[in-house]
Structure 1
Amino acid sequence: MNEIAVGNKTTDNIRTVSDAKRDFYQHHTRPINSVYRRVVEELLVEMHLLSVNVDFKSDPIYYLGVVTSFERLMQGYRPEQDKESIFNALCRAVGEDPERNRAQAGSLLNLAKNKSPQELVAWLSEPTPLENYHDIIEPIKAIASNPHFKYSRLFAIGLYTLLEESDPEILKDVSKRNEILESIATQLHLPGEKMNKDLELYRSNLEKMEQLLSVIEDVLQAGRKQKNQPKPEPETAE
């Protein structure tokens, strides 16, 4: 049997991307809207590759990154009712519980609402017990103390979302944003430069999706306008 290196170790019988895709379409049987197919497939591949990495351990910040990426990049998806099924299939295809993901992401987001960015950074580096947040404390505590912590783009997006919830204005100021992100990277021993690049790409992708949705809406409006125009009466021969 062939062995495959994952992370810093070697293992066999590892699940492949094809396995994850097959599982996804077993859970979500409807076709994916073509405009969003690449978004879904790239997110699935990213989640899968993390799930099979020996150094990766999911946590509430990662869950928030997954939820946020999905919700923002899937804006405008039609049919709307399929979005929940797609999200659930993404999680289950990589062995995750979609309800737990959303619940822990939501808890973390609620916590950020009541903290300034500085308080948030301090809490993330040394999480203190808080009522109603017991399920997210230990996983976050383990991040800074884990010498083999597996950083990911989705983790960075989770952090970015927390800052956005804490103080949306701070993200509009590039110098302040970079300062707070650098502080987080230092406190949690994260690759700061890579995190900044990942977040730049994330913001760029959001802008592109907004532009695409705007173009689609313009086309739809033009189509509706043309459809509603009265048809000219046919000329009658004398």
Structure 2
Amino acid sequence: MNNVRTVSDTKRTFYSLHTRPINTIYRRVVEELMVEMHLLSVNVDFTYNSIYALGVVTSFDLFMQGYQPERDKESIFNALCQAVEQEAQRYRQEAERLQNLAKTLSANDLTAWLSQSTNLDRDPDLQAQLQAIANNPNFKYSRLFAIGLFSLLELSNPELVKDEKQRTEALKTIATGLKLSEEKLNKDLELYLSNLDKMAQALVVMADMLAAERKKREQRKQQSTTSVAPPTANE
């Protein structure tokens, strides 16, 4: 009998590896990413690829911005990958490789390559993965894969992804070439961008609350110091 790991198994592994508490505002981010990675890892149609790895790394790094203590972020990411029986170093290395590659390509060249209308012969591994995706009718698409695609476009041309018309056209070309659902791709990325905005707003609110709390503590400290000041000695 083949025992498939459960979400509970994955969570238990994660919290046995990263034993420090996770700040409340980020806990949901970590657990949602963990569940998403888990469900993909146990899906028979899922195949790891470097664009998915880039999506995981990008999602983690952006949503964990501002996390304190900063040193805990590496431990959390390592535990996240190990909990789904993957290597964090592999994710980081492949994400960095694609990030560097995207920065050297124009948006047009990158779009043509990702859509498989052109082979740039720049990264044999990525080329093979793209071909496999386009030729696999059972390819397991995911939101994290979509984020990886978006990240590549953003690194190649940040202005393109800010322009809704250009972004939509590029994603349509890529979706057609890789035989992905354009509707799913756009919906997932709209939600992703919306969540990034909400997270940024939440961090601003949290920073304001912390600043206000610090100010109150300082005021209480000053009042306390004033109230316990020793009386002037009488001759």
- Structure 1 length-normalised TM: 0.88
1:117 counterpart (86, 107, 115):
107
Q: CA RMSD in A?
A: 1.8
Q: CA deviation at 1:148?
A: 1.2
Aligned to 1:141: 131
**1:173 matches 2:163:** yes
Number of residues of Structure 1 aligned to a counterpart in Structure 2: 224
Q: Is the Cα contact below 8 Å between 1:59 and 1:140 reproduced in 2? A: no
SS in 2 for 1:58: coil
Gaps of 5+ in 2: none
1:220 counterpart (207, 210, 230):
210
Kindly indicate which of the two structures has a greater share of residues assigned to helix: 2
Aligned to 1:204: 194
Q: Is the Cα contact below 8 Å between 1:60 and 1:140 reproduced in 2? A: no
- Structure 2 length-normalised TM: 0.89
Q: Tell me, in whole angstroms, the C-alpha distance in 2 between the residues paired with 1:48 and 1:206.
A: 22
1:33 counterpart (12, 23, 31):
23
**1:129 matches 2:121:** yes
2:87 counterpart (84, 91, 97):
97
**1:159 matches 2:149:** yes
Alignment of 1:66-105 (within 5 A): 66-105=56-95
Q: Which amino acid in 2 is paired with 1:188?
A: L
Gaps of 5+ in 1: 2-11
Q: Tell me, in whole angstroms, the C-alpha distance in 2 between the residues paired with 1:127 and 1:143.
A: 14
Q: CA deviation at 1:29?
A: 1.5
Q: CA 1:128–1:145 in structure 2 vs 1: closer, same or farther (change >3 Å)?
A: farther
- Identity among equivalent positions (%) equals 59
User: Deviations along 1:74-101, whole A, 9 cap, x unmatched?
Assistant: 1111111110011011111111111011
Q: Tell me, in whole angstroms, the C-alpha distance in 2 between the residues paired with 1:225 and 1:15.
A: 48
SS in 1 for 2:68: coil
Q: CA 1:135–1:127 in structure 2 vs 1: closer, same or farther (change >3 Å)?
A: same
Q: Is the Cα contact below 8 Å between 1:109 and 1:162 reproduced in 2? A: yes
Q: Tell me, in whole angstroms, the C-alpha distance in 2 between the residues paired with 1:118 and 1:148.
A: 28
Q: CA deviation at 1:47?
A: 0.3
**1:50 matches 2:40:** yes
